[in-house]
Amino acid sequence: MTIFRVADRQIALRTNSPSFVARLSQLYGEYEREPPEPCDCPMIEVMRLTEAACAKGERWRIVDQKLQRLQTETLEEALYEVDLAFGTYAMEARPDLLQLHGGGVSRGGRRTILVLGGPRAGKTTLLAGLLGRGFEYVADELLFLHPERLAVIPFRRGIFIREAALKEVRAVWPAATLSYAYTKDDGTRRYLPAPGSFQQAPTREVAAPYLLIFPAYRAESARRIELLPLEEVFGRLLSQTLNLAGHGFAGVSALARLAESAPAYEITASSLRDAVACVESVLHA
């Protein structure tokens, strides 16, 4: 049994595949093999099946307290399912933190940039472009924000990039090693960069956000940088917070302070290269 610590919660993994442990540790960092004491924590079992036990389209079997039972064909697909489970456990483990739908990067753990927006806004694609420029990875899809200090707690889950964005990501981030991860129900494929391709934020807590970015990709549009008014930023932050009801007035107050302290920009671009250039121009302004 292997123990991972995710958002200060222990999760036990039982598997017959050392390669799966190695890949998961590349995403989630330190782990402990064969803990000396029994672990009263969630358990996920991931088993690589023998050829004799394989059914059609099944090479890996996952049994989880929440996911029930799943079958996948590749290690990468199994990794994606366990990554989703880790995200669910992390949200349950840290109700004390504000949880936002978005991602983030930093420089030396000090200048933290949050990338926010709705589904298919281009958040992950822009994050990948910024990683290619040497920024450090903080989080993707799920952000944890301390409601008092406004510090960001890194949550380094997998960065799953849409196939449609691969060409642009590779142009901006040529050093990245991207491998096929899984296919969504709608038939679109996702790719996962190797952890060695990018730097990670060096601390367990990075500085309060220095900049908020809301990407908007529009085909054949001229690139545009718009400083958003305070009221609109506050409204967008409210809509992007997943557990606001559990924080009440304190959570609303924290988001108001964040809107006041970090300038927010909507960046409109028709390419990833232009979007990254817009972020860099704001940083150097």
Share of the chain above pLDDT 70, in %: 91
> pLDDT digits over 229-263, tens only?
999 999 999 999 999 999 999 999 999 999 999 99
Scan for tokens 């420029």, then name that residue. Answer: 133
> pLDDT digits over 83-94, tens only?
888 888 889 889
pLDDT at residue 213 is higher than 90: yes
- The first and second tokens of residue 163, run together, are 């196939």
| Whole-number CA gyration radius for the chain | 19
- The first and second tokens of residue 19, run together, are 């390669």
98-284 maps to which CATH number? Answer: 3.40.50
The pLDDT score that the predictor gives to residue 29 is 67
pLDDT at residue 57 is higher than 70: no
Domain ranges of the chain: 2-93, 98-284
Look up the pTM and report it: 0.87
From the list 234, 271, 280, the residue with the least C-alpha distance to 254 is 234
> pLDDT digits over 150-176, tens only?
999 888 788 889 999 999 999 999 988
